[in-house]
Amino acid sequence: MEHHLVLSIVARILIPLIMLFALYVQFHGDYGPGGGFQAGVIFASSFILYGIIYGIENLRDVVHPSFIRSLAALGVLIYISVGIVTILNGGEFLNYNFLSEHPVTGQHIGIIFIELGVGMTVASTMIILFYAFARP
Amino acid sequence: MIILYINIILLCLLVVTAIAINQQSNLFATTMLTGIFSLLSASLFVCLDAVDVAFTEAAVGAGIALILFLGTLSLIKYKEQIRNKVSIPGLLVVVITGSLLIYGLRDIPAFGKPENPVQIYLADKYIVESEKEIGIPNLVTSVLVSYRGYDTLGEVTVIFTAGIGVLMLLGRSRDNYKGIVSKEKP
């Protein structure tokens, strides 16, 4: 897509903004609408925009498919690890009250890690799907 | 009152879009209409004050799903194959299911009534106690991640499994695209 000058320049401006917005949605999910699912999708869409405008091969150089596959698994792993840590601290599976001395602080820590795991898995799965469907 | 009119207009537009999707044989146009359908549903969710759901619908339905449809369209033909033959068993199934659904509508409680089962079971507990127990203002996040953390684990696993399934079905040949081409056309 070398000829689409306007598209490539607009994408160059938009991609960092989309990523920033995704991070905002990810970490502001406790206070406003949003959370891991939405943030993951928005974050993935910035990569997909890059792939559409600059070509799949260039996107492959930015995020390697095997890296993104392990990232998807890592997200689920983080989620389950939080549950296992709560068991080790003497509580039930995914009872975040046991993550810290103070129950509410434990809930905050738990929610941040869970949302991180969700966001990672969702974002990487969306990029995996794009890799699988997009024609090189 | 104005919300009611907006709801009526949005629902009418949804029906119009659905009919247009059904009538259209050009798959590219159908894909775009699906995106419009998702955007209209997202607006409806905003009117219902379900901003989290609206956000998801707009991002997934009107965003990512559309891209994946377009990616699929680039692999297949743009034109739908028209079959003029009417399938009698299919028509029967559709009519019977439709009338059963309309019959079932009579048992659904009225929209937004305070004594509906969804409002009296657990909702009070979440609204009153979540601020104290979880300590974050967004009720949706505390229900989704903390009270229903186990369900969300299931959802994440479903997404992960879907990704793996697509990889197993489509991923391998495309992933080694470079390698295959260099082997076949030296």
DSSP codes, A21-86: HHHHHHHTTTTSS--HHHHHHHHHHHHHHHHHHH-HHHHHHHS-HHHHHHHHHHHHHHHHHHHHHH
Distance from CA of A104 to the nearest CA of B (A): 6
B159: pLDDT confidence band, cut at 50, 70 and 90? very high
Considering only alpha carbons, which residue of chain B is nearest residue A25? Answer: B55
Burial class (CB in 10 A: 0-12, 13-18, 19+), B112: exposed
Token pair of B136, please? 């974050």
Please say whether the beta carbons of B177 and A133 come within 8 A.
no
Nearest neighbour of A41 by CB, restricted to B64, B72, B167: B64
Residue range B35-60: mean pLDDT, rounded:
92
- The 3-state DSSP class for residue B169 equals helix
Which pLDDT does position B124 carry in this prediction?
Answer: 82
Residue range A26-48: mean pLDDT, rounded:
90
B120: pLDDT confidence band, cut at 50, 70 and 90? confident
- Sign of the dihedral through C-alpha A49, A53, A56, A58: negative
Amino acid symbol at B53: V
Region of poorest pLDDT, from A104-113, B19-28, B56-65, B120-129 = B120-129
Which pLDDT does position B111 carry in this prediction?
Answer: 77
Instruction: Kindly provide the ipTM of the predicted complex, given to two decimals.
Output: 0.89
Q: Note the residue count of chain A.
A: 136
Nearest neighbour of A111 by CB, restricted to B67, B145, B167: B145
Nearest neighbour of B55 by CB, restricted to A38, A118, A126: A38
Amino acid symbol at A61: D
The proportion of chain B whose per-residue pLDDT surpasses 90, expressed as a percent, equals 41
Token pair of A49, please? 């925009």
Which pTM value belongs to this model?
0.84
Residue range B48-70: mean pLDDT, rounded:
90
Judged by CB atoms closer than 8 Å, whether chains meet at B160 and A34 is answered as no
Distance from CA of A4 to the nearest CA of B (A): 19
B169: pLDDT confidence band, cut at 50, 70 and 90? confident
Nearest Cα to Cα of residue B134 among A99, A90, A22: A99
Give the C-alpha separation, B9 to A110, whole Å.
42
Token pair of B60, please? 């997934």
Region of poorest pLDDT, from A33-37, A116-120, B37-41 = A33-37
- The 3-state DSSP class for residue B161 equals helix
Nearest neighbour of A29 by CB, restricted to B138, B149, B178: B138
The proportion of chain A whose per-residue pLDDT surpasses 70, expressed as a percent, equals 96
Residue range B102-111: mean pLDDT, rounded:
86
User: At which residue do the structure tokens 């470079």 appear?
Assistant: B178
Judged by CB atoms closer than 8 Å, whether chains meet at A108 and B135 is answered as yes
Distance from CA of B147 to the nearest CA of A (A): 9
**Range B157-164, long-range pairs (CB < 8 A, 24+ positions):** B157/A76, B159/A121, B159/A122, B159/A125, B160/A72, B160/A73, B160/A75, B160/A76, B160/A121, B160/A125, B162/A125, B162/A129, B163/A72, B163/A124, B163/A125, B163/A128, B163/A129
What DSSP designation does A48 have?
A: H
Among B148, B156, B173, B180, most A C-beta atoms within 10 A, so best to mutate, is B156
Judged by CB atoms closer than 8 Å, whether chains meet at A45 and B64 is answered as yes
- Sign of the dihedral through C-alpha B161, A47, A37, B59: negative
**Which chain A residues have a beta carbon less than 8 Å from that of B131?**
none
